[in-house]
């Protein structure tokens, strides 16, 4: 093993002393070398984890790699503040949220925050891109689950819901139907808070998990598991494990949040094209570059056929999908398989 360059007994130090350099000069040279080498020395980092319940109505997990505890706790504070701020804007359950207040308008260009404008625009875009399989107005069918004829609302579902002008900061609500951004807003919030945490000085890796919607930021891949929708217990072995690196993962399905209708369990996810609960696919998982995309597509893939979902996923950059059907059939695309942990 080579002797360290500036150990007290190294040949280099002996030669320096022979040529009349003092001990103080040698120590100064040692410090200079350490400083010169510092940019090539990887700083020590530590892992931190924070857990909360009842954040956006579900569980919240923040995992960080940071240079010191102060940076980690600062990131925790920033993230919780950002969640609260965005919830006040995007919540579909709070009567005082910006979204709820905006829903009281119709046919007028009302001022909206940049965040609400962006999510509204994404909601309308995904309605178009999925040919109606994703639709924020699907919630309007909720009170018709016990009714056999829902055709009176289907025409309204096919019409534009709103227009958005993000440059002017206004949005005009066109539909009379109630809407919910929940199938998109949670993923959007996950993206935003992960970015806030990663922007904190001293934080190098971030993983945000809100109710199963994940966003990873960093250059070290992490493993994420997908719950088996047919397993009787939540702590059962996962149905799949994937590797994520600077990516997102979201799963939708009615296997734990269904309703009882006419004595049988049905999914809480409604097909906006028919008004009926999703029946064929019981779980849809999506890997995407961001969590808002994964969130919206996992909802759409719960109502599309697996073949339709694969075709749409393959048309989008970096999107992997896995659909589990009632009979246990699993369908994936190549991007999903490329992320599978071996």
- pLDDT tens-digit map of 54-95: 898 899 999 999 999 999 999 999 999 999 999 999 998 889
Q: How far apart are CA 203 and CA 70, in angstroms?
A: 10
Q: How many alpha carbons lie under 13 Å from residue 207 in its C-beta half-sphere? A: 22
- For residue 69 the two structure tokens come to 């505890």
pLDDT at 13: 42
Exposure b/e, 3-24, CB count within 10 A at least 16 = b: eeebeeeeeebeebeeeeeeee
Residue that wins the pLDDT comparison between 127 and 276: 127
Q: Is the pLDDT of residue 16 over 90?
A: no
- pLDDT tens-digit map of 293-320: 999 999 999 999 999 999 999 999 999 9
- pLDDT tens-digit map of 194-225: 999 999 999 999 999 999 999 999 999 999 99
pLDDT band, very low/low/confident/very high, at 151 (cuts 50, 70, 90): confident
- pLDDT tens-digit map of 217-259: 999 999 999 999 988 776 789 999 999 999 999 999 876 555 5
Q: How far apart are CA 303 and CA 285, in angstroms?
A: 13
How many other CB atoms are there within 10 angstroms of residue 131's CB atom?
A: 12
Lowest-confidence pick of 5-9, 141-145, 279-283: 5-9
Q: Percent of the chain at pLDDT above 90?
A: 69
What 3-state class would DSSP assign to 250? Answer: strand
pLDDT at 20: 52
Cβ distance 320 to 338 under 8 Å? yes
Q: Percent of the chain at pLDDT above 70?
A: 81
pLDDT at 9: 44
Cβ distance 233 to 256 under 8 Å? no
Residues ≥6 apart with Cβ < 8 Å to 101: none
19 alpha carbon, distance to own chain's centre: 63
Full-model pTM: 0.83
Closest by CA to 272, choosing from 124, 163, 87, 107, is 124
pLDDT at 8: 41
- For residue 54 the two structure tokens come to 């009842």
pLDDT at 31: 65
Residues ≥6 apart with Cβ < 8 Å to 113: 89, 98, 169
């Amino acid at each position: 093993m080579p002797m360290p360059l500036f150990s007290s007994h190294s040949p280099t130090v002996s030669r320096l002393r022979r040529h009349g350099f003092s001990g103080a000069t040698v120590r100064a040279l040692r410090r200079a070398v350490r400083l010169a080498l510092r940019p090539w020395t990887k700083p020590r980092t530590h892992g931190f984890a924070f857990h909360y319940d009842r954040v956006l109505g579900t569980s919240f997990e923040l995992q960080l790699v940071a240079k010191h505890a102060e940076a980690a706790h600062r990131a925790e504070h920033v993230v919780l503040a950002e969640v609260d701020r965005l919830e006040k804007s995007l919540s579909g359950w709070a009567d005082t949220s910006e979204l709820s207040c905006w829903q009281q308008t119709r046919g007028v260009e009302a001022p909206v925050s940049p965040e609400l404008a962006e999510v509204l625009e994404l909601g309308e875009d995904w309605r178009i891109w999925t040919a109606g399989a994703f639709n924020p107005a699907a919630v309007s069918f909720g009170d018709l689950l016990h009714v056999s004829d829902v055709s009176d609302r289907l025409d309204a579902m096919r019409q534009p819901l709103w227009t958005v002008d993000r440059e002017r900061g206004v949005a005009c609500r066109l539909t009379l139907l109630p809407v919910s951004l929940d199938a998109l807003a949670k993923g959007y919030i996950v993206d935003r808070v992960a970015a806030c945490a990663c922007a904190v000085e001293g934080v190098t890796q971030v993983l945000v998990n809100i109710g199963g919607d994940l966003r990873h930021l960093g250059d070290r891949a992490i493993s994420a598991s997908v719950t088996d929708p047919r397993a009787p217990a939540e702590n059962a072995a996962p149905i799949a494990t994937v590797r994520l690196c600077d990516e997102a993962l979201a799963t939708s399905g009615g296997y734990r949040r269904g309703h009882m209708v006419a004595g049988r369990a049905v999914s809480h996810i409604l097909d906006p094209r028919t008004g009926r609960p999703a029946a064929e696919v019981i779980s849809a998982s999506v890997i995407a570059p961001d969590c808002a995309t994964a969130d919206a597509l996992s909802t759409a893939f719960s109502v599309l056929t697996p073949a339709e979902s694969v075709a749409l996923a393959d048309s989008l950059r970096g999107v992997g999908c896995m659909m589990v059907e009632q009979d246990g059939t699993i369908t994936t695309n190549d991007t999903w398989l490329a992320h599978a942990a071996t």
